[in-house]
Amino acid sequence: MTKDQIYSLPQRRVGDFTFDDAVADVFPDMIARSVPGYASILSMIEQLSSRFILPNTNVYDLGCSLGAATLLMQPQAPPDCILHAIDNAPAMVERLRSIVNAQPPSGCRIQVHEADICEFALDHASFVVINLTLQFVPIEDRTALMQSVFDALIPGGALLLSEKICFEDPLQQALLTDLHHDFKRAHGYSDLEIAQKRTALENRLLPETTDSHVARLRDVGFGCVAPWFQCFNFVSVLAVKSEQPT
C-alpha cells in the first residue's frame, strides 16, 4: 500500500480535490487513514451482500473507486448475477479493470463502467452500494439518483448508503470535526496535510445531516430506513424496499 503524502508539502494554491492518478496511487491508504470506521463499513457490506443479493439480479457499486466493496460482494453473489462497478474517474476505472482482469475467473461477473452514476441506467437490482460517494454528487441531483436506485430495486432489495455528514448544532459540528482531525493525526497526518486536504475538498465534498439523508430516502419510497453506524462525522444507512407496494 503506497502511503498518502499528496498534501505533505506546502502548496502555494490548493486546487479542488480530484480522483486523478496521484489519488488512485494512494487511495487505499488515504481512505483508511481518513475515514473512521471504514473497515467496519466494508465488513458490513460483505455481510449484507450475503443477505440481500439474489440470483439472476444486478448488483451496483455506485462510485466504486478501486472496488473495495465490489471485490467483497463478488464472492457473496450467485454466479448468474452481474455486479456493476461504476465510477466517473478514469484513473480509478483503469486500475479497477486491471485488478478484475488479474483475478482468476470465479463467482459472478464484474462489469466495470466509466460513467456518471446519475446517468447510468439501473435495473432489476437486489443490492446497491453507495459508499462515500453521494457527498460528491451535486445536492440538487441527489434526490433523482435516490429515486433511480429505489425504482431499480426489486421488492425486498436494499441500498447501503455511507456518507460524511454535518450537524445543525454548531457546537456538535465543531466537536465532531475536531475528533475527526484527531483521528487523522493519530493515523500520521500532519496539521498541514489536514488543512490542505480540507481546503481541496471544500468545494467538492458537500455533506448533509443524517436527517436529510433519511428524509430523502423515505420520500423516494423506502419503507425501512435504518441508520446503523456512526463514527464521529461519518454514518451509514441501510434502506430496504418494501416487499409489498405501499
Residue 63 Ramachandran class (φ > 0 left, ψ -120 to 50 alpha, else beta): left
- 38 annotated as ligand-binding: yes
- 139 annotated as ligand-binding: no
Instruction: Determine contact, residues 69/61, Cβ cutoff 8 Å.
Output: yes
- 7 annotated as ligand-binding: no
- 157 annotated as ligand-binding: no
Q: Which three cell numbers stand for residue 164?
A: 460524511
- 223 annotated as ligand-binding: no
- 63 annotated as ligand-binding: yes
- 166 annotated as ligand-binding: no
- 12 annotated as ligand-binding: no
- 87 annotated as ligand-binding: yes
- 189 annotated as ligand-binding: no
Binding-site residues for S-adenosyl-L-methionine? 38, 63-65, 87-88, 116-117, 131, 198
Binding-site residues? 38, 63-65, 87-88, 116-117, 131, 198
